[in-house]
Amino acid sequence: MSDKTIFKKIIDGEIPADLVYEDELCLAFRDVSPQAPTHVLVIPRQEIRSLSETRAEDVPLLGHLVKVARDVAAQCNLEEGYRVVLNCGPQGGQEIPHLHLHLLGGRQLTWPPG
Ligand code: AMP
């Protein structure tokens, strides 16, 4: 039985995703259960389980993921604003143990989150 996460299967091309961007370091694709008109996930190709498992040498990669979220927001015409969310661990609401950013936009978002 494969212990790959669903995101690793997307990286490996084993299951499809609605890709909006990709490069040598990361992929961005539409969330299968969108919580806003635009809901895109940005994930590193490298298998990192969560933000809390990143190391000092991952800082450039983390910066790149945030930059890609910004660029995808511009590509999706989110001029009115958007939110970038990174859930970490069980109490942070992280369900898939592969680091990912959520890019949410296209409606008025409220605060605080649930
Ligand atoms: P999190 O709760 O932060 O781990 O977020 C995981 C996200 O992955 C959720 O918003 C899910 O809707 C999304 N998701 C799960 N499976 C897929 C998939 N096959 N393609 C796209 N998004 C997915």
Per the structure, the count of domains in the chain is 1
32 lines ligand 1 (CB under 6 A): yes
* Whether the Cβ atoms of residue 106 and residue 35 lie closer than 8 Å to each other: no
Look at the pTM and tell me if it is higher than 0.85.
yes
In a domain, 112, yes or no: no
Which two structure tokens, joined as six digits, stand for 40? 């895109």
Closest-CA residue, ligand 1 atom 15, reads: 32
In a domain, 88, yes or no: yes
Instruction: Spot the catalytic one: 39, 98, 100, 102.
Output: 100
Structural domain span for residue 45 = 6-105
Q: What is the pLDDT of residues 61-101, one digit of tens each?
A: 999 999 999 999 999 999 999 999 999 999 999 999 999 99
In a domain, 113, yes or no: no
In a domain, 18, yes or no: yes
In a domain, 110, yes or no: no
pLDDT at residue 1 tops 70: no
Q: Ligand 1 centre from 16 Cα, in Å?
A: 13
Q: d(Cα 114, Cα 98) in Å, to the nearest integer?
A: 22
